[in-house]
Amino acid sequence: SQQGEEDPQALSIQEGENATMNCSYKTSINNLQWYRQNSGRGLVHLILIRSNEREKHSGRLRVTLDTSKKSSSLLITASRAADTASYFCATLDTGRRALTFGSGTRLQVQP
């Protein structure tokens, strides 16, 4: 079963704009991770944020985590056409070993 719900389901922006995706989850977690998937291909790990962290940066990516609201957001700044992909949040739930994935956000960046 999927824990995370991602919002929006689909997002279309122009190159250079920022893209923000949100993820909500239901249970207590050890960490939350964001992955990117290009159409029908493998998942690429983007960033991991631990439950005791509130914000993390990696290049043009900024992730926030609010455990009180059970939510996370992924911000991609200065988007590029190559950022076009589906983005998934995944939680490592407390007491579990495998990831629980959200339903994903399809991002389309128009050149």
Name the site residues for other proteins (rule: CB under 8 A): 1-2, 30-31, 33, 35, 40-45, 48, 50-51, 88, 90, 92, 96-104
Minimum distance of other proteins from residue 80's CB (angstroms): 20
44-72 in b/e burial notation, b at 16+ Cβ within 10 A? Answer: eebbebeeeeeebeeeebbbbbeeeebbb
Q: Residue 38: how many CA atoms within 13 Å on its side-chain side?
A: 6
Tell me how far, at minimum, the Cβ of 90 lies from other proteins, in Å.
8
Least distance (Å) from other proteins to the CB of residue 44? 7
13 vs 31, which CB is nearer to other proteins?
31
> How many Cα atoms are found within 13 Å in the side-chain-facing hemisphere of 42?
3
- Smaller CB distance to other proteins: residue 84 or 100? 100
